[in-house]
């Protein structure tokens, strides 16, 4: 085995990046320490807690279980890419108004899960929301306000889609 670096090209939040990293370098570390996109948090490094969840080619994935090198050419969306410097995304607005975050450490992962989920199921019931949220763990909120927020976000997105 070697610690020889390989070149990785990733499009992250719409921007192209090229970095040389060791093949073992995890996507989470790549985003956080190479690209300084520290909004993606590390919680367990064994794929359970979901804090590091990002969108990889549009799908939620654990960035702690992905090698950056193996994703060469992929498109990644992190929490920083949801709204950028623009006003909050409807999902973020819904989280804010429902008080769906406390410490906020897990929140980026929940936002990613919610965006993917509502893309697939725009009008979910609370049981479906609960099921979708098993993608992530939160220790502060007890989930209830997150469930409310996802319900509200779905409504906002549906209304937004109607208006558009």
Site for another protein in 29-58 (CB under 8 A): 29, 32, 37-51, 53, 56
b/e sequence 29-53, b meaning 16+ C-beta within 10 Å: bbbbebbebebbbbbeeeeebbbbb
Q: How far is the CB of 18 from another protein (least distance, A)?
A: 17
Our CB check for another protein shows the closer of 128 and 162 to be 128
Ordered strands of the 15-21 beta sheet? 15-21, 6-12, 75-77, 53-56, 59-62
Q: Are 58 and 117 in contact (CB under 8 A)?
A: no
For position 114 contacting another protein by CB under 8 A, the verdict is: no
Q: Supply the DSSP string of 91-135, one letter for each residue.
A: HHHHHHHTT--SS-SSHHHHHHHHHHHHHH-SS--HHHHHHHHTT
Interface pick for another protein out of 7, 9, 14, 59 (rule CB under 8 A)? 59
Q: Where are the beta strands (DSSP E) in the chain?
A: 6-12, 15-21, 53-56, 59-62, 75-77
By CB under 8 A, tell whether 141 contacts another protein. Answer: yes
Query: Can residue 7 be called a binding residue for another protein (CB under 8 A)?
Result: no
d(CA 34, CA 21): 9
User: Residue holding tokens 């990613």?
Assistant: 112
**Residue 154 interacts with another protein (CB under 8 A): yes or no:** no
Binding mask 62-101 for another protein (x = CB under 8 A): x-xxxx-xx-------xxx-xx----x---x--xxx-x-x
Residue (138 or 154) nearer to another protein, CB: 138
Q: Which of 7, 123, 134, 160 binds another protein (CB under 8 A)?
A: 134
Residue 11 or residue 102: which is nearer to another protein going by CB? 102
Residue from the set 137, 151, 155, 156 that interacts with another protein by CB under 8 A: 137
Q: Which of residues 10 and 141 has its CB atom nearest to another protein in the complex?
A: 141
């Amino acid at each position: 085995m070697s610690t020889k670096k390989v070149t990785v090209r990733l499009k992250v939040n719409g921007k192209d990046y090229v970095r040389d990293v060791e093949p073992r370098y995890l996507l989470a570390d790549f985003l956080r320490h190479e690209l300084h996109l520290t909004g993606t948090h590390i919680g367990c490094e064994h794929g359970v807690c979901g804090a590091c969840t990002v969108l990889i080619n549009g799908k939620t994935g654990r960035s702690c279980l992905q090698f950056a090198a193996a994703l060469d050419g992929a498109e990644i969306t992190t929490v920083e890419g949801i709204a950028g410097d623009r006003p909050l995304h409807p999902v973020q607005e819904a989280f804010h108004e429902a008080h769906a975050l406390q410490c906020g450490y897990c929140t980026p992962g929940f936002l990613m899960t919610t965006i993917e989920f509502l893309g697939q199921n725009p009008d979910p019931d609370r049981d479906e929301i609960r099921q979708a949220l098993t993608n992530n763990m939160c220790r502060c909120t007890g989930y209830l306000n997150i469930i409310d927020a996802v319900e509200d976000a779905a409504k906002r997105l549906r209304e937004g889609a109607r208006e558009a």
